Amino acid sequence: MDESTAVVRTAGEELGVGETIWINATLYTEHRVIENGRLIAADNGTIRALGDELLPVPANARVVDCRGALLVPGFIDVHVHGGNGYAMMDGTFEALDGMSRFHAAHGTTAFLATTSTGAKGDIVRALANAAEHTGLTSGAELAGIHMEGPYLDEKRRGAQSKEHLRLPTPDEIDELVEAAGGHMRLVTLAPEIEGGLEAVKRFVAKGVTVSAGHSDATFDEVSAAVRFGLNHTTHHFNGMSPFHHREPGLAGAGLLLPELTTELICDGIHVHPSAVKLLFEAKSPDKVCLITDAVRPAGLPDGEYGEVVVRSGEITLKDGSSLAGSSLTMLQALRNAVRYTGYALEKLLPSLTSVPARQARLDRVKGSLHAGKHADFLLLTPELALIATHVRGKEVYRSEIAL
């Protein structure tokens, strides 16, 4: 089935009260694949229990027969700007909710709404809006904020606004973190710019994961930032100093430094399939974080949308000078990764589930099928077509594929 023909359920369509048990599922847990498995979701939206077919059916529970479908942890997208005509920087709940419904229809159960470089006032408004509506979206759960920019290197800015790039100051960092209301979970900056290392240290002290991106840093400059707490790279290979045998740059640092988890846009456009396999081989799935970097026109037909053009899934600035985000979805990223690497599904799943949960500091409640965590999961066919998306035990999307 073409995913675009499916519909997203509205927020008002509840699934009933009390516990629900999904039976006859192929469960993908943290450590093994369970055939004929069962999962019980409590009425508070957490997983009460999961295991083999002997798990008892609670009295008066609603029973869903999965008929052998794959039941996998929901995908967490820590780098997504928009989709289906909506963008985080719009600064409205309508935009955040529209993003959430679109991405839920493509496998995302939680996301970090991601800013882009702009005027400080625009960033503050977008941060405050996302903070106000964290946890309130009707599709995928808005679980926090990723601030990408404005502290970036002009040489590697890509489609980011040159006009609004600037150097970090302690006062402005504090203002932005405060605007995010405790929901800033990830920030992208260039550690080599003036004040960059102090910015890394300050964000880390405030509980924010710091990522190197849109950066022209040398290997040694990245290594220094790692000592200050940097542990992530933004859309690896893209918008960064490339690998060279005399200067490995940020691209080389991501490959070599064990402290760094590397984001990856696995669309076959941003990164060649062979480079995708190289990254997985060098880092292992436990250090690769698949993302979409999806922007407003993702999911829309080919054409011009403001300053960008969409052609056959590729999004560029009108002048063709740079890629400008992607039209990728998390489910397609998984399918591509399977094809490019040849890895089994269970080997790749951490890159869409437990790894982004860890990097966003959400792993206490999300990222794997485990009793006590949120009942965020997908039902997939063996061919990796999406049947349904569940967030905290509630079905937020169902395709036309019958169980």
Q: What CATH number does residue 383 fall under?
A: 2.30.40.10
216: closest CA among 191, 244, 187? 191
Residue 165 lies in a domain: yes
Phi, psi (5° rounding) for residue 85? 90, 0
Same domain membership, residue 48 and residue 31: yes
Pair 255, 138 in one domain: yes
Same domain? 92 vs 241:
yes
Q: Do 171 and 123 lie in a common domain?
A: yes
Q: For residues 205 and 208, what is the distance between their CA atoms, to the nearest angstrom?
A: 7
Residue 403 lies in a domain: no
* Buried-state track 347-372, b at ≥16 Cβ within 10 A, e below 16: bbbbbbbbbbbbbbebbeebbbbbee
Q: Are residues 353 and 393 in the same domain?
A: no
The answer on 84 and 143 residing in a single domain is yes
229 Rama sector, left if φ>0, alpha if ψ -120 to 50, beta otherwise? left
Which residue ranges are tagged as binding site? 148, 159, 214, 235, 238-239, 246, 270, 323-325
Return the pLDDT at 57: 83
Q: What is the pLDDT of residues 147-166, one digit of tens each?
A: 999 999 999 999 999 999 99
> What is d(CA 374, CA 370) in angstroms, rounded to the nearest whole number?
8
Query: Which residue positions form the known binding site for Zn(2+)?
Result: 148, 214, 235
121 and 45 both lie in a single domain: no
Q: Give pLDDT, residue 54.
A: 79
Query: What residue numbers does the annotated binding site for substrate cover?
Result: 159, 238-239, 246, 270, 323-325
- Total domains, the chain: 2
Answer whether 302's CB lies under 8 Å from 312's CB: yes
Q: What is the reported pLDDT for 303?
A: 96
Asked, for residue 91, whether it belongs to a domain, the answer is yes
Predicted local distance difference test score (pLDDT) of residue 4? 35
Angle, CA of 27, 285 and 217, to the nearest 5°: 150
**What domain range is 58 assigned to?**
3-72+367-398
Asked if residue 353 and residue 379 are part of one domain, the reply reads: no
Q: Which residues of the chain have pLDDT under 50?
A: 1-17
Enzyme catalytic residues? 293
* CATH classification at residue 245: 3.20.20.140
**Contact residues for 167 (Cβ-Cβ < 8 A; gap 6+):** 151, 193, 194, 195
* pLDDT value of position 16: 41
- Concatenating the DSSP letter of every residue in 247-278 gives --HHHHHHHH-TT-EEEEE-SSSSS-HHHHHH
Does residue 343 sit in the same domain as residue 203?
yes
Domain presence at residue 244: yes
pLDDT digits (tens, 9 = 90+) for 217-227: 999 999 999 99
Are 105 and 59 members of one domain? no
